[in-house]
Homo-oligomer: A and B are copies of this chain.
Amino acid sequence: MSKKKRVTLRDVARQAGVSPTAVSFAYNAPHQLSQITRERILETADALGYQPHPVARTLATGRTNTIGLVMPTGLDWILHDPLFSLILGEIGSVCDEEKMRILIVPAAGDISPGMLATIAADGFVLFSIHRDHPLGRVVERTNRPLVMINGDENLAAPMFNVDDVKGAYIACQHLLEKGHRRIAVGTIGPREDGVVIPVYERRMQGYQAAVRDAGLPPSTLRPVFIRGLMSMGTESFEKIWSLNPRPTAALCVSDVRALAVLNGARKAGVSVPNDLAVVGFDNLPESAVSTPPLTTLSQDLPGRVRLALSTLFALINDENADDSPPPPHINPLELLVREST
């Protein structure tokens, strides 16, 4: 094959003996053409192996039929956060239905104020952007359609979150009511790249508020930095278990962390919930079948993702949309008490 010249609309027009306009109409405005002309054009196109050039089409119409998924880190995130996989899967279903494509945009490193402008997408979904992240500034001054998921509520953008603070509050309250007074908090440590994840920040606040409202000292809670990886179970558990004084319960900011701790505890021969109660966050499918099944906070992820995307699509289609972002959409969380507490 090698450098075959691309067949263009012009070639088809010439071959079929019609104008370029007619060929374009055959694809984009069939009713503007007589049945017979249209068929001849389509047959010629087929015979020549013509395919409309997607980029040229985009330049002319202004539509890419692509949405950009922007995250504040490298792609390692996708890799290791099962919740993100769930979100991605849901976005995938919606995009299948809407015939939109998905462009992955990791925003590690160099973030210029105009970075979104350099990306060929009709709109963006931004994940976990913190107000102090360079993307926070970008978001506030861009005029391109975007929505945020799990973002910082201080940013002025359409926001689709869960009620992290309240969820964390009731999770912590649950443990306090069971009499726990020494609680490890399994949370994320400072990231090398300095990125702060808003949901974890809010969850910490929720835990702390519950302790405060119960009239207990802040030292009731002991933060422990653990990684969100199943393979780090032993290390994570050890970090918690070696606290002095030894905690009787662990609140984890994510289910992966909680599941890893469960795994580590089992290997160490420590009984959950008898020796250590464990609570997660987000209710992954795995959390229902772990040993023991995990107490956690459940949310309507599909509903939230769909709402975010339909908002985004509306923004894309109404150029002259209202300027002020709507109030944040905050899904409730429900405490699912299972056997780990």
Q: Which of A70-107 contact B (CB under 8 A)?
A: 74-76, 78-80, 85-86, 88-89, 91-93, 95-96, 101-106
Contact A96 B75 (CB under 8 A): yes
Across-interface contacts of A119 in B (CB, < 8 A)? 54, 101
Decide if B120 touches A58 in the complex (CB within 8 Å).
yes
Inter-chain CA distance A319–B4, complex, in Å, is 10
Interface size grouping (class) on chain A: 35 or more
Which segment, of A197-205, A226-234, A308-316, A329-337, faces chain B?
A: A226-234
Chain B residues with CB below 8 A from A234, complex form: 289
The quantity of this chain's copies bound in the complex is: 2
A-B residue pairs in contact (CB < 8 Å), sample of 9: A2-B143, A49-B114, A54-B118, A66-B120, A78-B88, A79-B85, A92-B104, A92-B106, A104-B104
Do B319 and A291 touch across chains, with their CB atoms under 8 A apart?
no
Chain A residues numbered 9-67 whose CB sits less than 8 Å from any CB in chain B: 49, 51-52, 54-56, 58-59, 64, 66
A207 to chain B, nearest CB (A): 27
Q: A2-B321, A102-B104, A230-B285 are in contact. List 18 more A-B contacts (CB 8 A).
A: A2-B320, A51-B114, A51-B117, A51-B118, A54-B117, A55-B58, A75-B102, A78-B92, A79-B85, A80-B89, A85-B85, A92-B104, A96-B106, A102-B103, A103-B103, A103-B104, A230-B286, A231-B288
